[in-house]
Each structure stands twice: as C-alpha cells, then as structure tokens.
Amino acid sequence: MRFSHSFSCSAMGALILGCLLLQASNSNAQLRPDFYFRTCRQVFDIIGNVIVDELSSDPRIAASLLRLHFHDCFVNGCDASILLDNSTSFRTEKDAAPNANSARGFDVIDRMKDEIELACPRTVSCADILTIASQISVLLSGGPWWPVPLGRRDSLQAFFDLANTALPSPFFTLDQLKKSFADVGLNRPSDLVALSGGHTFGRAQCQFVTPRLYNFNGTNRPDPSLNPTYRDQLRRLCPQNGNGTVLVNFDPVTPDGFDQQYYTNLRQGKGLIQSDQELFSTPRADTIPLVEQYSNNRFVFFQAFTEAMIRMGNLKPLTGTQGEIRQNCRVVNSRIRSVENEDHGVVSSI
C-alpha cells in the first residue's frame, strides 16, 4: 500500500476544507496548510509512506506518533523540542518522567527526516514533520482528515524541567487536568475531552493502571468508578507487584482503530487510566455531556477533535526567522556544524 496526498484529501475532506481553512488561518496567521506547496509538495507522500510501512510491523506506531506531537506541544509549544537528544547546553525532554521509557517513535521521525532531506534539503522543520505525522497517523487508523497549518520552525533547546511539570499525569483529577490544559491555552472543555479521545488507540503501561486496581488514592481499595468486570480483566493483565512495563490496550474493543469507542468505554466505567475516567465519573462535571455526545456521534467527535488538534498545533509556534530548520531532528544545527568544523581541523565551540 502506498500513501499519497490526494488520498488524504478525500471528497469528504474537501467538503469541510473551506471551514477548517478559515479557522486555521484565523488561529495563527503565519501558519498555513499550503506552506510547502512550492518548496516540498511531496512531504505528505514521504511521511505517509513511512507510516504505512511502519504500521505493517508495528500497529502501535500511529498512536505513538500522535502522543509525541501532544507531548511536544504541551512543553513550550509545538517546536520539536521533544526530539532533541542530550547536549552540553541542555538535558533532553526524553529523560523527563512523562517520557522516559515511554515516549517512542523517534527512529520513525528520523527516517521521515532523512527521506525529506534527500528530496527537499533544509526545507521542512521537524516540528512540522511531527504535526503532519500525527494527522496522517489518525487518518490511517480510521480517523478524520484535516488541513494541517504548517510553517513551524524548530527550537534551539529542550526543556527538561518544564516537561516534568507541564504534561498531564495519568493520575490527575479533573480539576488538575483542566488546569494543565488551560495553562497552555487550551481552556475549552471540548479541547480537553476531544484531545483525550486520542486514547481511543494505543497502549499504556501497567504502572499507570495498578494504583486504580489495588490502592486508589491510598485507600487500599480499587477505584470505585471502575467497572467490576473490567477491573478483574485488568488485574489479570496487571497483577499487584507485577511487571509495571507490561502494555495494556487503552481501548479493549478497537485497540488500533481511531473511533469514538473510547467515550463509550468511559460511560461503562472502562476508562483505562484515572485521568480518562475522570471526564465522565466526576460528579456534575461539565465534561460529562461531551463524553455522551461524542460517544453517540462519531462525526461530532471527529469535528471537535480536528478543531482541538489545530488549536493545539498552534501553541506558541516558532515562525519566520525564529528557531531554525534542523537538518537532524536530534541535534541543533550548530552541533552539526561544530562536528563538521572539527573534521576539517577547525576548532568551534558548541
């Protein structure tokens, strides 16, 4: 199977293109979906083909790439800072608690970048690669298409400390979730509920589930919002004092498909992690009607998700002459030039 940009621009997508383009252009005037139309039109094909190929051996990769984009945008904006390795100047965000031994797909982004650099050298930012990859990952998993505003540039540093504090925890209450989203500018209930729907596919480690199963909030009892049958299923997968890195499907019904089943699960008490179930089980929460609405209507969920993804993608982007277009997503360009200078006998500091 080969991916093409024309495939992503389906007839249904064309019907909503005008509306979403208007919204995207209003949200950040310097980002636009046709940013690479003249300079690297094949960028969608390249990224899509890599994802199709990776999915053939790794059904988790689509969800993993979406999560990378999410974790990037919540930490000082969508600037590909999450992709940077350790440097003498900063510590990588990959070592932060929400990412360590958990965030994945970096090698897939490297592959995309290598192929794009061959086709369009020094043109497409790593931040835009992450953004496009998340959109195509959703689409290939059965989710919606949307026009991705492009034109971001890459950060010159990583933000380890911020990554430890800005990303929502799987153990958050609803109030903590709302604050975490509002702190980055996503202050609508639909932002929180729709973006949480990204957990309609992918996996989580048992270490993020077991407190709900055995000792919820220090009570030595399970989370009372858990469906008893589902709780027993999870206990078999995640025994007390067992291997915390064992993987569990976020959605036990359609684990690799992007659909509204996640919200139906919440209504049945089958949210995998606490922060998901909080959306429906917190008494009198304003998120409950949205969970019910998205559960009942896939189109409404898809529309809310695309709007929230565009809003998230517009968080503090570097544009114009800010930042840089990295040649290698793992290192800033000055490090590459330093190594090149050293190879030619020129001393240069990093």
Does residue 278 have a known ligand-binding role?
no
Q: Quick one: 159 exposed, middle or buried, by C-beta within 10 A (0-12, 13-18, 19+)?
A: buried
Does residue 79 have a known ligand-binding role?
yes
Residues paired with residue 328 on neighbouring β-strands, in sequence order: 331
Does residue 81 have a known ligand-binding role?
yes
Does residue 245 have a known ligand-binding role?
no
Instruction: Identify the helix (H) or strand (E) that includes residue 267.
Output: helix 261-267
Residue 254's CB is within 10 A of a number of other CB atoms, namely: 17
Going by C-alpha positions, the residue among 291, 260, 298 that lies closest to residue 277 is 291
Which residue in 5, 69, 71, 344 is the catalytic one?
Answer: 71
Residue for token pair 């999915």: 55
71 noted as active-site residue: yes
Does residue 168 have a known ligand-binding role?
yes
Q: d(Cα 133, Cα 51) in Å, to the nearest integer?
A: 8
In 3-state terms, what secondary structure has residue 130? helix
Does residue 128 have a known ligand-binding role?
no
Does residue 72 have a known ligand-binding role?
yes
Within 8 A by CB and 6+ apart from 90, the residues are 84, 157, 158, 159, 160
What would the two tokens of residue 298 be? 């896939």
Does residue 200 have a known ligand-binding role?
yes
DSSP per-residue letters across 42-84: THHHHHHHHHHHHHTT-TTHHHHHHHHHHHHHTTTSSSSGGGP
Residues annotated within the binding site for heme b are 199
Residues involved in catalysis: 71
Residues annotated within the binding site for substrate are 168
Residues annotated within the binding site are 72, 75, 77, 79, 81, 93, 168, 199-200, 251, 254, 259
